[in-house]
């Protein structure tokens, strides 16, 4: 059993609106506990207490972070036991997973309803403010994506597609070898899961690439420009891996969920990812390498030929993105006011008791042969 923590997002504030991959993230779990009821920050506190307790036992825990504020959680998964706990406000009103037992946990019972009723008008006003500001932020992200499309066009028009196809073919031939992947445990062999490696938060872009790739023996840092074929390359590799039955973790772009930013093949101990801003990273150890698709597949001199035009588009893109992030900060400020009201109504002792009760309930489901003695 891997003694580590894995961090990622299941939702994103994107150019397509609030986009969720929760159904994929939770698929394959035996049991999912849903924290029902609106309870301000109490849901995140319960999740943090559960994750800390499980991690202290040396178990492998997935931390699913909130896309607005990455410091908070909206889900945790006890990987080896195939048990998850998720904030029902994040997952949705009527969650359904085939073959998974759903258990509901009522958090509203730890709140003082009189305090909440006294603040009902203010809460309604804040909710409306949050909804309106979110909509404005998503419209601004969409506008920013259209600017990004203009940026990409300079490179798409100068892309050598034969060279790009050759890059994909070489990677498939060298790395995607099904026989190199040992037989998977349970139903893991050939499994595909979709996640976000990063998100546009109120603090700007946050990513967990170093954490997600730290256990991989081989890491390929893909460099390039917008429109140089990185996402298309990842889609080709993902399709090939799936056709070969290779377990694949697919990480979508937190800005444009239709694009891919990273693939991880656990059995091959391989990660290949877009290593450009806003999630730019650099090789730091043996097994790391750089794949520069700009040098390999874009006509020489493209940067220089369109330098002035590209600079103008990049400036518009940066300005529009800052505008969208500022709107998310406005959402966060309004949500903080809601959280303060709910904190006043929260019975802290009851919250800790609820967490302990949930831990005991999960313990009853655990298989000692998988997780070791408790």
pLDDT tens digits along 276-285: 999 999 999 9
Of 23, 295, 298, 310, nearest to 159 (Cα)?
298
pLDDT tens digits along 353-373: 999 999 999 999 987 666 654
Cut 0.85: pTM above it: yes
Residue 134 structure tokens: 């979110």
Strand 31-36 to strand 83-87: parallel, antiparallel, or no bridges (unpaired)?
parallel
Residues 148 and 159: their CA atoms lie apart, in Å, by 17
The confidence score (pLDDT) of residue 179 equals 61
pLDDT tens digits along 225-239: 999 999 999 999 999
Angle between helices 161-175 and 230-243 (to 10 degrees): 40
What's the mean pLDDT in 95-105? 90
The confidence score (pLDDT) of residue 148 equals 98
Mean pLDDT of the chain, nearest integer: 93
The confidence score (pLDDT) of residue 58 equals 87
Whether residue 187 has pLDDT greater than 50 = no
Confidence of residue 1 (pLDDT cuts 50, 70, 90): very low
Q: With contact defined as beta carbons under 8 Å apart, do 293 and 224 qualify?
A: yes
Residues 35 and 90: their CA atoms lie apart, in Å, by 10
Whether residue 32 has pLDDT greater than 50 = yes
Confidence of residue 36 (pLDDT cuts 50, 70, 90): confident
Of 259, 237, 233, 261, nearest to 248 (Cα)?
237
The confidence score (pLDDT) of residue 366 equals 86
Whether residue 181 has pLDDT greater than 90 = no
Residues 167 and 292: their CA atoms lie apart, in Å, by 10
Residues 238 and 171: their CA atoms lie apart, in Å, by 11
Confidence of residue 4 (pLDDT cuts 50, 70, 90): confident
Could you give the 3-state DSSP secondary structure of residue 264? strand
Whether residue 3 has pLDDT greater than 50 = no
Confidence of residue 182 (pLDDT cuts 50, 70, 90): low
Confidence of residue 185 (pLDDT cuts 50, 70, 90): very low
The confidence score (pLDDT) of residue 373 equals 47
Between 182-186, 308-312, 328-332, the lowest mean confidence (pLDDT) is in: 182-186
Whether residue 217 has pLDDT greater than 50 = yes
Whether residue 166 has pLDDT greater than 70 = yes
The confidence score (pLDDT) of residue 145 equals 98
pLDDT tens digits along 49-64: 999 999 998 899 999 9
Task: Determine how many CB atoms are found less than 10 A away from the CB of residue 311.
Answer: 10
Sequence spans of domains, the chain:
5-111+347-371, 159-298
Q: With contact defined as beta carbons under 8 Å apart, do 204 and 325 qualify?
A: yes
Residues 127 and 219: their CA atoms lie apart, in Å, by 43
pLDDT tens digits along 115-136: 999 999 999 999 999 999 999 9
pLDDT tens digits along 136-151: 999 999 999 999 999 9
What's the mean pLDDT in 198-216? 97
The confidence score (pLDDT) of residue 39 equals 65
Nearest 5°: phi and psi at 197?
A: -80, -20
Q: With contact defined as beta carbons under 8 Å apart, do 212 and 198 qualify?
A: no
Percent of the chain with pLDDT over 70: 93
Residues 11 and 22: their CA atoms lie apart, in Å, by 7
Q: Which helix (H) or strand (E) holds 115?
A: helix 113-118
């Amino acid at each position: 059993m891997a003694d580590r923590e894995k961090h990622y997002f299941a939702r994103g504030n994107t150019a397509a609106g609030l986009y969720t991959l929760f159904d994929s993230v939770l698929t394959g779990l035996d049991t999912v506990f849903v924290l029902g009821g609106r309870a301000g920050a109490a849901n995140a506190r319960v999740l943090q207490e559960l994750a800390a307790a499980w991690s202290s036992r040396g178990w492998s825990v997935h931390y699913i972070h909130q896309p607005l504020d990455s410091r908070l959680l909206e889900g945790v998964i006890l990987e080896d036991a195939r048990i998850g706990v998720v904030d029902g406000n994040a997952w949705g009103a009527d969650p359904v997973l085939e073959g998974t037992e759903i258990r509901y946990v009522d958090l509203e019972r730890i709140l003082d309803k009189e305090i909440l009723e006294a603040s009902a008008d203010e809460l309604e006003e804040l909710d409306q403010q949050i909804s309106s500001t979110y909509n404005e932020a998503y419209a601004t992200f969409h506008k920013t994506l259209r600017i990004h499309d203009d940026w990409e066009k300079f490179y798409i028009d100068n892309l050598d597609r034969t060279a790009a196809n050759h890059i994909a073919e070489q990677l498939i031939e060298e790395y995607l070898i099904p026989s190199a992947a040992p037989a998977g445990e349970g139903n893991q062999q050939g499994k595909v899961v979709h996640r976000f490696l990063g998100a546009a938060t109120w603090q700007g872009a946050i990513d967990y690439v170093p954490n997600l790739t730290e256990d991989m023996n081989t890491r390929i840092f893909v460099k390039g420009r917008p429109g140089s074929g990185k996402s298309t390359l990842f889609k080709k590799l993902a399709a090939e891996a799936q056709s070969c039955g290779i377990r694949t973790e697919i990480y979508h772009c937190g800005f444009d969920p239709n694009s891919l930013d990273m693939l991880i093949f656990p059995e091959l101990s391989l990660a290949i990812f877009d290593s450009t801003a806003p999630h730019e990273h650099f090789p730091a150890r043996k097994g790391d390498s750089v794949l520069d698709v700009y040098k390999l597949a874009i006509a020489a001199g493209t940067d220089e030929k369109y330098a002035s035009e590209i600079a103008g588009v990049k400036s518009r893109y940066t300005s529009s993105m800052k505008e969208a992030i500022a709107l998310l900060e406005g959402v966060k400020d309004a949500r903080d006011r809601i959280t303060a009201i709910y904190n006043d109504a929260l019975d802290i002792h009851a919250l800790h008791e609820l967490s302990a009760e949930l831990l005991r309930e999960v313990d009853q489901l655990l298989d000692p042969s998988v997780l070791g003695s408790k």
